Amino acid sequence: MMDNQILFSALDALQEAVFLLNRDRRILFANRRANEEFGGQFVGDDFVKVIRHPDCIGIIDTVINGKKSGETVITVDRPTTAVIRVLVTALTDLQSNPEGNIIVSIADISNIREAEQMRTDFVANVSHELRSPLTAISGFIETLKGSARDDQKARERFLNLLEHESQRMVWLITDLLSLSKVEASQRVRPTGTANIGAILNRIVNSLASVADVERKTVRINIPQITDIPGSTDEMTQVFQNLIENAIKYGKRDSEVHVNVLRQEVVAGMAGPSLQIDVIDQGDGIAREHIARLTERFYRVDNHRSRDKGGTGLGLAIVKHIVNRHRGRLKISSVPGEGSTFTVILPLQ
């Protein structure tokens, strides 16, 4: 009895769901994590009441019939869809010991599978984004070496196109390096102090020529005290991206508003916060796109984004920097009226 108590205590301490079964698939013990994850008391029940998937039951039966161990990966609904790894191990030789037991260990590997899929998608997207300008550059070079060799107007046009495509690659590689750097340090809180007011004023001044070309007016409303704990460089990157997007994607002859206000209470934040709203008067964004805007390479309008010099990584970088500063990023939009990108940062 004491041995069983020690065993059960050890199984309760595990982070994975664990079941102890007899040869008849009857559950003799379920650890704390198993009861929490699968929502019930199962002692005495057939394991099929926990997971009815044929691959899972099949691997248990193969161990009961003499195999030392087995493993399978299955997808289940509980209540959301999850990918789980089921590992079954015989504690003794069940053929020579009818009283022997088996251990069924269950681990949720959904996050691992999602990470693998994200990595695969990321590599595919990077390859595509680099292949497009490289293909264009290769074609322009071939043309310049051939039919356009002695045509001055054609040379100038193709050289301008070469410059544009090479710049696209520079932007993409720069953003990839920025994203990699931010992701690597996301769990490390930044040190120092950043003055959001000074940062916003510098950005608006630096983008004045872009705003003139796009025929936009940027109006800024900043309170006197806007210091936050954080990185000046990273906050500059955040608001440079948001304000430049608002200028580029707003309607011509419209306004971009940058409003800063102090909030004493914000859900999910400890203590007072600084809220920065970047508001454009553009075409707006349909609701189904909003949740995906911070995904890498996700674009609402691929053609327009590339024409504007977008890499599809800007908002992903913004999200990671804001997370590193323990802040919040919110996006709201009304199609036909415009969008609001809100950054909320802790003041202390």
* 108-122 confidence digits (pLDDT tens): 888 888 777 777 777
Least confidently predicted of 25-39, 111-125, 178-192, 244-258: 111-125
Instruction: Return the percentage of the chain with pLDDT > 90, whole number.
Output: 32
Place of tokens 């911070």: 294
Question: Residue 55 above 90 pLDDT?
Answer: yes
Mean pLDDT of the chain: 85
| Per-residue model confidence as pLDDT tens digits over 266-301 | 777 778 889 999 999 988 998 888 988 988 878 776
| Residue 258: per-residue pLDDT | 95
Nearest by Cα to 201 from 260, 137, 265: 260
Nearest by Cα to 288 from 335, 249, 346: 335
| Residue 303: per-residue pLDDT | 52
Distance CA 21, CA 196 (A): 60
> Given pLDDT bands bounded at 50, 70 and 90, which one contains residue 166?
confident
Positions of CATH 3.30.450.20 in the chain: 2-108
Question: Residue 1 above 50 pLDDT?
Answer: no
What count of other Cβ atoms lies within 10 Å of the Cβ of residue 300?
16
Least confidently predicted of 33-47, 230-244, 293-307: 293-307
Q: Which residues, in sequence order, are CB contacts of 293 under 8 Å at separation 6+?
A: 285, 300, 315, 331
The CATH number given to 110-184 is 1.10.287.130
Instruction: Return the percentage of the chain with pLDDT > 70, whole number.
Output: 95
For 190-348, give the CATH class. Answer: alpha beta
| Residue 119: per-residue pLDDT | 74
Distance CA 199, CA 3 (A): 65
- CA dist 46 to 5, 25, 43, 108, 160, Å? 22, 6, 9, 21, 72
Place of tokens 């019939």: 65
> Given pLDDT bands bounded at 50, 70 and 90, which one contains residue 143?
confident
For the segment 165-193, the average pLDDT, to the nearest whole number, is 81
Positions of CATH 1.10.287.130 in the chain: 110-184
**Which position has the higher pLDDT, 321 or 311?**
321
Least confidently predicted of 6-15, 26-35, 53-62, 245-254: 6-15
DSSP element (H, E) containing 163: helix 152-184
- CA dist 148 to 54, 165, 200, Å? 66, 18, 46
Positions of CATH 3.30.565.10 in the chain: 190-348
Q: What is the DSSP code (8-state) at residue 257?
A: E
For 2-108, give the CATH class. Answer: alpha beta
| Residue 2: per-residue pLDDT | 43
Q: Which residues, in sequence order, are CB contacts of 24 under 8 Å at separation 6+?
A: 46
| Residue 14: per-residue pLDDT | 83
